[in-house]
C-alpha cells in the first residue's frame, strides 16, 4: 500500500479528539499496549492526560521497548501503574518495581507481539500509538515500530497520536510486514537483510479507531555518554578479534552481518567499526536498534545498509537523520520487532551479535538484568534473541564496576539471562575469552584471564577450592557469592 505525504498527516473522516477526552475513554483497569522502542516513538500526550485523570486506576502497560517519561514517569507518579511488561528504562518505574509497588514481567522482545495477540498479558483494551500520519483504517509509525503492529491487531480499541514534531518522511524507512499467528504462520519471505517485503502502513479495522490526537512534542531519547578509555580498549580488543575472525571463519568470507545492543557501550562499539579492515566484504547491520554510531558508518561507506526496529538516536542523531532523511532512507529500513529479532532470520543471515551484561561467571553464564541477582535494571530486551540465535554471540563488558570496587567476572552469577550455551566470546578491556569448544574447566581459565588483574588471584583461589568437588562444572557453593573475602 503506497503513501503520498502530500495528502497530509490526517486523512479521511477520523475521530479527532483532545488528549483529555481520549484519556477519558480508557477504562480504569485497562490493559494498554503503547508504541515505543529504544526511547523513541512513544505516545506523549494521552498518557499524561491519563495520569492527570481524577479517576482511581490500576493500569497494565505493555511496550515494545523503552519509552519516555510521558508514559512511565507520569503513570508511576500518579499511582496508576499496577503492572508493566516487558522492558523499561526509567528510574521511577524501576524503583517502583524493585519496591514491589509495580508488578513487572520480563520477556524476550521477539515473543512479545505474539504473546500480546494470544492474550498472555491480559486482553488488550486500548492501544495508544504515535504516528506521523493516520487514515480511517491505517497509520504510519514514527521513529520506531517495535511491536506496534501486534498491539494494534490485538487491542479492542485504538488511540493514535499524530506527532507533528516527527517528519512525515519517516514513512520511507518503514517496512511493516505482519504474520499470521501459529499454526498458520508462513516463512518470512525476506531474501536479504535490507530487502523490503511490506508497506509503510499498519492497517486495522476502521471501527477500532476511537480517537486521533494531534501532538507536537519531540522524543527524549538516549543521551550517549562519551566513550571512556575502558570503552575504547574494549572496542580495540573486539576489533582485533573480529579482524582475525574475518580471516578464519568461512561464514564471514563474503558478507558480515552485525548486531549491537542498545546503550552507550553498544554505541561506542559501533563507532569503532571504521577501524576494522573488512576488505571488499559487504557489511550490513541487522539488529533491533539503529544508533548514532551507525550513521557514521553509513556516511563513511562502511555499511551497505541497516535493518532495525527503532531509530534509537540521540537528539543530535535525530536531527542529523531528519535533515537528510531522503538519502538515509535508501540504506535504512525499520521492521516490526518480531522480524528484526526473528530467530530464523538471525540464524539464516549468520549475524554476529555483540551485547553487554551486568556480569559473566567463570563458566560463561551472563546476568544482564539484575544487580546482585535481585534488583532489576531494565530487562532482557532483545539480548536473548540475538545471543541464543547468532552464529557468533559476543558479550562485551568492562571487567569492573563501581570504580573498580566490583568485579564483573564472578565465580557464579546469582541470576542467569544468557546461559553458557548461548555465548561464544567474552571481551573486556583486558582481552578476549574465546569459549568456543571449551570444557567448563577450560572456560574458567579463559575467563580469569580477562578479569581485572586485582581480582584474578581471588578468582584463582575460588577455582582451587572448587576443584576439591567433583563434577563437570565445579563450584564451592559455600563461597560462590562471598568469594572476594575468602
**pLDDT tens profile 24-66:** 999 999 999 999 999 999 999 999 999 999 999 999 999 999 9
168 in Cβ contact with 5 (< 8 Å): yes
Please report which confidence band the pLDDT of residue 224 belongs to, taking 50, 70 and 90 as the band edges: confident
Tell which CATH classification among 3.40.1080.10, 3.30.70.2190, 3.60.15.10, 3.40.50.2000 matches the domain 229-485: 3.40.1080.10
- The whole-number pLDDT of residue 296 equals 87
Q: What predicted TM-score, i.e. pTM, was given to this entire model?
A: 0.95
Per-residue pLDDT tens digits for 401-440: 999 999 999 999 999 999 999 999 999 999 999 999 999 9
Q: Which residues of 250-260 are buried (b: 16+ CB within 10 A; e: fewer)?
A: ebbeebbbbbb
Q: Which of 102, 139, 164 lies closest to 11 in space, CA to CA?
A: 139
- The whole-number pLDDT of residue 167 equals 95
Please report which confidence band the pLDDT of residue 1 belongs to, taking 50, 70 and 90 as the band edges: very low
What are the angstrom distances between the C-alpha of 396 and each of 47, 169, 251, 290, 415? Answer: 36, 35, 21, 18, 18
Q: How far apart are the first and last CA of the chain?
A: 66
Q: Is 461 helix (H, G, I), strand (E, B) or coil?
A: helix
Per-residue pLDDT tens digits for 275-318: 888 999 999 999 999 988 889 889 989 999 999 999 999 888 99
Structural domain spans, the chain: 5-215, 229-485
Q: Which of 466, 470, 468, 460 lies closest to 479 in space, CA to CA?
A: 466
Per-residue pLDDT tens digits for 165-178: 999 999 999 999 99
**Identical topology for domains 5-215 and 229-485:** yes
Fold of 5-215: Glutaconate Coenzyme A-transferase (3.40.1080)
326 in Cβ contact with 173 (< 8 Å): no
Cα distance between residue 44 and residue 180, in whole Å = 30
Beta strands in 423-481 (DSSP E): 425-428, 431-434
- The whole-number pLDDT of residue 88 equals 96
Catalytic residue ranges? 288
Amino acid at each position: 500500500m503506497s503513501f503520498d505525504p502530500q495528502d497530509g498527516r490526517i486523512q479521511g473522516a477520523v475521530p479527532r479528539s483532545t488528549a483529555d477526552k481520549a484519556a477519558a475513554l480508557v477504562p480504569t483497569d485497562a490493559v494498554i499496549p503503547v508504541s515505543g522502542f529504544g526511547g523513541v516513538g512513544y505516545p506523549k500526550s494521552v498518557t499524561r492526560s491519563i495520569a492527570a485523570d481524577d479517576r482511581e486506576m490500576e493500569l497494565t502497560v505493555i511496550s515494545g521497548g523503552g519509552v519516555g517519561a510521558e508514559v512511565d514517569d507520569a503513570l508511576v507518579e500518579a499511582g496508576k501503574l499496577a503492572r508493566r511488561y516487558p522492558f523499561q528504562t526509567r528510574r521511577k518505574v524501576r524503583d517502583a518495581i524493585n519496591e514491589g509497588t509495580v508488578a513487572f514481567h520480563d520477556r524476550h522482545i521477539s515473543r512479545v507481539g505474539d504473546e500480546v495477540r494470544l492474550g498472555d498479558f491480559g486482553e488488550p483494551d486500548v492501544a495508544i500509538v504515535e504516528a506521523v500520519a493516520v487514515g480511517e483504517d491505517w497509520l504510519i509509525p514514527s521513529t520506531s515500530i517495535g511491536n506496534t503492529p501486534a498491539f494494534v491487531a490485538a487491542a479492542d480499541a485504538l488511540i493514535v497520536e499524530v506527532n507533528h514534531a516527527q517528519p512525515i518522511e519517516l514513512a520511507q524507512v518503514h517496512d511493516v510486514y505482519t504474520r499470521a499467528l501459529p499454526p498458520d504462520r508462513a516463512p518470512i519471505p525476506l531474501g536479504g537483510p535490507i530487502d523490503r517485503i511490506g508497506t509503510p502502513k499498519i492497517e486495522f479495522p476502521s471501527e477500532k479507531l476511537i480517537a486521533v490526537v494531534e501532538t507536537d512534542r519531540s522524543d527524549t531519547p538516549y543521551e550517549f555518554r562519551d566513550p571512556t578509555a575502558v570503552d575504547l580498549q574494549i572496542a580495540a580488543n573486539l576489533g582485533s578479534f573480529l579482524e582475525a575472525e574475518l580471516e578464519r571463519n568461512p561464514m564471514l568470507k563474503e558478507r558480515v552481518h552485525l548486531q549491537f545492543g542498545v546503550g552507550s557501550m553498544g554505541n561506542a562499539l559501533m563507532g569503532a567499526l571504521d577501524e576494522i579492515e573488512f576488505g571488499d566484504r559487504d557489511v550490513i547491520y541487522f539488529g533491533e536498534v539503529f544508533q548514532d554510531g551507525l550513521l557514521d558508518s553509513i556516511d563513511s561507506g562502511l555499511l551497505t545498509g541497516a535493518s532495525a526496529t527503532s531509530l534509537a538516536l540521540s537528539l543530535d542523531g535525530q536531527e542529523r537523520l531528519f535533515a537528510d532523511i531522503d538519502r538515509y532512507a535508501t540504506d535504512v529500513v525499520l521492521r516490526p520487532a518480531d522480524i528484526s529479532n526473528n530467530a530464523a532470520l538471525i540464524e539464516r543471515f549468520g549475524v554476529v551479535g555483540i551485547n553487554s551484561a551486568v556480569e559473566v561467571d567463570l563458566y560463561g553464564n551472563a546476568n544482564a538484568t539484575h544487580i546482585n541477582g535481585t534488583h532489576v535494571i531494565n530487562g532482557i530486551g532483545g539480548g536473548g534473541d540475538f545471543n541464543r540465535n547468532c552464529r557468533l554471540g559476543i558479550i562485551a563488558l568492562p571487567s569492573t564496576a563501581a570504580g573498580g570496587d566490583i568485579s564483573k567476572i564472578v565465580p557464579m552469577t546469582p541470576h542467569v539471562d544468557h546461559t553458557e550455551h548461548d555465548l561464544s566470546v567474552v571481551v573486556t578491556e583486558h582481552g578476549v575469552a574465546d569459549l568456543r569448544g571449551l570444557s567448563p574447566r577450560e572456560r574458567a581459565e579463559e575467563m580469569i584471564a580477562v578479569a581485572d588483574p586485582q581480582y584474578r588471584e581471588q578468582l584463582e583461589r575460588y577455582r582451587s577450592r572448587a576443584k576439591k568437588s567433583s563434577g563437570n562444572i565445579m563450584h564451592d557453593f559455600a563461597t560462590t557469592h562471598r568469594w572476594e573475602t575468602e
